[in-house]
Chain A
Amino acid sequence: MKRILIIVMVTLLMVSLMACAPVEKPETSNTSNTESGDTKTDSNDKKTVSGLKAFTKDELKVGFIYSSPIGSEGYIYVHNLGRLALEEMGIKTLYLENIPETSECEKAARDLIQQGCNVIYAVSFGHMEYIANVADEYPDVYFNHCTGYITKNNMSTYMGKIYQAQYLAGIAAGMRTATGKIGFVTTFPIPECVRQVNAYTLGARSVNPTATVEVKWTSSWYDPATEKTAATELLNGGCDVIAAYCDTMNPQMAAAERGAWATGGTSPGGEAVVPNAFLTSAIFDYATFYKQDIQEIMDGTWSSTGGFKWRGLDEHVVKLEGISKNCAPGTKEAVDAAEKGIIDGSLDIWKGELKDNTGVVKVKSGETLTDEQLLALDWFVEGVIGKVG
């Protein structure tokens, strides 16, 4: 009896091992053969800006590398919405989720390329150096890395200018807070998160000059229990509006349980999760970006030399998702005015004089922060309670 059981279990184990072997043949051999190895000028395609082949819609196979599970909300979810938008256009896509920010990312990228992908989007900051390594090995594949800064001829970087939308969300929060204390739950003290906290604070203080924003770091892009706990701590400390930039909506849910208000969730649909607490949300619309980028690839105008593809409110890659009924009266007008100002350039949220939260003047009167300085931002503006690092 025992022997039979052992045999059954071992057979099950062997079968399960065979079930995970990849089966697809690589498709890249087709494209390089028919073009006889020359990717610069083809008989059917025009010369492209980057030198890589301009694929047609049928030839395209786009691979996505996600650092966390897609779930139902959050950063990865909104990238996935972009992927689904591409699928609706008839483009074949593949994805791998839960790829950690380690050398496993290289394996994942190679995996996707061997399955025929000719465009790769890696959406997490920590994937940067690994994607760069793989980009060197496959000069004919388009690599795109979100939120990073390494570029090559076939590797570009992109991101939504979410801080613009966070400024607007901050206005809503500043107008709504009764205690004057706002809490912000986010992940790592990297410029991406620091920028958002700063923009949010500047927005809140533009309508409520004494408001403060307290920051809690969760040290993880995805940690449900810690995100909830951090928000609870902020609420215990007297905050009555919670904002968050992390991968779940747990901070907002913690706020809703206490009867406080919340903004954020980087993906659409936040109001349905916390209807009584929801003010507004600074969301990404990566579907718009991906459609723009794929169009550029198809047109042959894709290039990585133009620098960081940082697209914001004007190109609809970031948005403010709705002003809910919970917002203070007058919020919509204030937000609309600010949004218009940001888009037409008349409102520069980073212009001086700006002090950091220890009182040192960081941006002098009459000056402003350049894109390079923003991408390396490592100090908090006045009104932020917390430390970078």
Chain B
Amino acid sequence: MNDLVLFLQLAVQLGTPLLFATLGGILNDKVGNLNLGIEGMMMVGACAGFGVAYHTSSPLLSIVTAGVASLLLSLLYALVTVTFKGNQTVTGFAITILGTGIANFSGESLSGLTLSPSFIRIMGIQIIPVLINIPILGTVLFSQSYLFHLSLWLAFGLYFYLKKTNYGLIMRMVGENPAAADTSGINTTSYKYIHIALGGLLCGLGGAFLSLVFVPRWQDNIVAGMGWIAVALVIFSTWNPIKAIFGSYLFGLLRALSIKYQNISFRIGNNDISITSQIIDMLPYLLTIVILVLTTLSKKRENQAPAWLGKSYFREDR
């Protein structure tokens, strides 16, 4: 039983950076800008956060810096896609490569450094007294870092924002039909800029989780592809922050599973079947494709991608 609890705890930890990045991706996508630059933003956030953490040992400052660094990168993305109306897919890739390069380059001097013990204690696992006694879920949910709780609050907050507030409604409208939004007097450009920036900030927090809590060191390519899993997760969760929570932890679970059971073998009849870890690693992407097909078939309006996703809005064509 203890084994299961520790395993789930690890799975949740692996899912937290994915959750941050997915929430950022959802924010971006809902205003109509396909964000493929999540990996680059996570890298920049991880590097900036670690750099500040090493020099100041201040948790708050390092998290804020991580967010600001990736916010700046996402502003660059916004500049190219919203103002210059550049192709969003290509720009996203460019931002990924740029972000990864900047982070690896700046991080060379940070390689091998360790954070102060007090910092690691604050950012590490915090045990919440009474709730931890709940069997299984207690350890899994209430023996985690503060950033984990932040991610959950952010997810609920984002859901509330999108579904229940006026700004959320307007923002969704900008993503569905910017022409209609523009006609009603909404400044689509500023809505896009703000939400792309906020989305970038969230991705940076995801990267910061890796370099400040999970590992916690700076290493070249510390994100190692998690940004791309987040891109798939945004689709998997049908742009819904609550589903993103479940999706992230599911993907985190699959990742932990592939490491725990590197080779699941069993017999069917006379045949030895063995499922290697590579197959389990494939599952997240496979599941995403399945969900994509299902949502397209279901045609339920709320599960569809924002109608204007990926398309640049040309005011002149209105």
Contact = CB atoms under 8 A, between A and B. Distances in A.
Given A69-B220, A233-B10, A225 B214 contact: yes
Given A69-B220, A216-B262, A225-B210, A6 B215 contact: no
A73 interface: yes
Contacts of B104: 69
Contacts of A219: 277-278
A236 B114 contact: no
Given A232-B10, A387-B262, 13 more contacts: A2-B83, A69-B220, A70-B111, A72-B113, A217-B262, A219-B277, A223-B224, A228-B214, A229-B255, A233-B256, A236-B3, A253-B215, A273-B114
Interface string B194-225: 00000000000000001000110101111010
B111 A225 contact: no
> Which among A70, A224, A225, A248 has the greatest number of chain B C-beta atoms within 10 A?
A225
Contacts of B84: 2, 6
B47 to A, nearest CB: 13
A71 interface: yes
Contacts of B278: 219
B14 interface: yes
Interface of A: 2, 5-6, 68-73, 98, 216-219, 222-226, 228-230, 232-233, 236-237, 248, 250, 253, 273, 386-387
B219 A248 contact: yes
Which 4 interchain pairs have the tightest Cβ spacing?
A: A72-B112, A69-B220, A236-B6, A224-B219
A230 B260 CA distance: 7
A216 B258 CA distance: 10
A58 B114 CA distance: 40
B263 A387 contact: yes
17 contacts: A69-B104, A98-B220, A216-B259, A219-B278, A222-B220, A223-B224, A224-B217, A224-B219, A224-B224, A225-B210, A225-B214, A225-B224, A226-B224, A228-B214, A233-B7, A233-B259, A387-B263
Nearest to B83: A2
A250 B215 contact: yes
Contacts of B260: 233
Nearest to A250: B215
Nearest to B216: A253
A236 to B, nearest CB: 4
B49 to A, nearest CB: 15
Given A223-B224, A225-B214, A71 B111 contact: yes
B202 to A, nearest CB: 19
Nearest to B219: A224
Interface in B4-60: 6-7, 10, 14
A225 B10 contact: no
A226 B259 contact: yes
Given A2-B83, A219-B278, A228-B214, A71 B112 contact: yes
Contacts of A98: 220
Contacts of B220: 68-69, 71, 98, 222
A222 B104 CA distance: 14
A93 to B, nearest CB: 18
B220 to A, nearest CB: 4
A253 B210 CA distance: 15
A73 B10 contact: no
A315 B163 CA distance: 70
Given A229-B256, A230-B259, A250-B215, A224 B222 contact: yes
> Which among A68, A216, A233 has the greatest number of chain B C-beta atoms within 10 A?
A233
B215 A224 contact: yes
Contacts of A224: 215, 217, 219, 221-222, 224
Contacts of B83: 2
A232 B255 CA distance: 13
